[in-house]
């Protein structure tokens, strides 16, 4: 049986209530047989999100659409990931904006492959853990 490391899951954003909600949903849907640690970090600036990514080195990232105190957006963070982050990472962008706005903003980024609107957290968790479950069998 393969011993799995704890999956590091990071949520960055500028709304405490949204961070809390997403962390609760990830923790609820994350399978108990796959070790994981979810951390939510309040970031008012895109640069703070980049620093959090450097510090926590996540394998899974939930990335906010925009930051309240910044002209930079989640797309700028995603571009930084595309250029600089060498570890395997699954990135989901999230927003309360319409799906079209979310997909349009992150168009052209390589790392953002998932979009979370409403309660699509479960689908994202299932996608993230599908490979781990297959490897663990």
Is it the case that residue 26 has pLDDT exceeding 90? yes
Please state which CATH number belongs to domain 7-136.
Answer: 3.40.50.2300
Q: What's the pLDDT at 10?
A: 98
More confident residue, 134 or 48: 48
Report, as an integer, the average pLDDT of 6-17: 95
Residues 23, 29: Cα–Cα separation, whole Å: 10
Report, as an integer, the average pLDDT of 16-22: 94
Is it the case that residue 22 has pLDDT exceeding 70? yes
Is it the case that residue 126 has pLDDT exceeding 50? yes
Q: What's the pLDDT at 117?
A: 79
Q: In what order do the strands lie in the sheet with 90-94?
A: 36-42, 7-13, 60-64, 90-94, 112-116
51-93 tens-digit pLDDT: 999 999 999 999 999 998 789 999 999 999 999 999 999 999 9
More confident residue, 46 or 70: 46
User: What is the 3-state secondary structure of 80-128?
Assistant: HHHHHCCCCCEEEEECCCCHHHHHHHCCCCCCEEEEECCCCHHHHHHHH
């Amino acid at each position: 049986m393969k011993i799995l490391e704890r999956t590091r899951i990071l949520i960055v954003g500028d709304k405490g209530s949204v961070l809390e909600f997403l962390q609760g949903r990830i923790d609820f849907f994350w399978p108990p047989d796959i070790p994981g640690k979810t951390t939510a970090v309040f970031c008012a600036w895109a640069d703070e999100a980049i620093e959090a990514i450097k510090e926590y080195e996540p394998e899974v990232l939930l990335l906010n659409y925009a930051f309240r105190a910044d002209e930079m957006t989640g797309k700028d963070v995603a571009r930084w990931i595309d250029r600089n982050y060498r570890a395997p990472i699954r990135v989901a962008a999230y927003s309360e904006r319409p799906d079209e706005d979310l997909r349009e903003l992150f168009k052209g980024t390589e790392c953002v492959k998932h979009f979370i609107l409403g309660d699509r957290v479960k689908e994202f968790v299932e996608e993230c853990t599908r490979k781990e479950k297959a490897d663990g069998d």
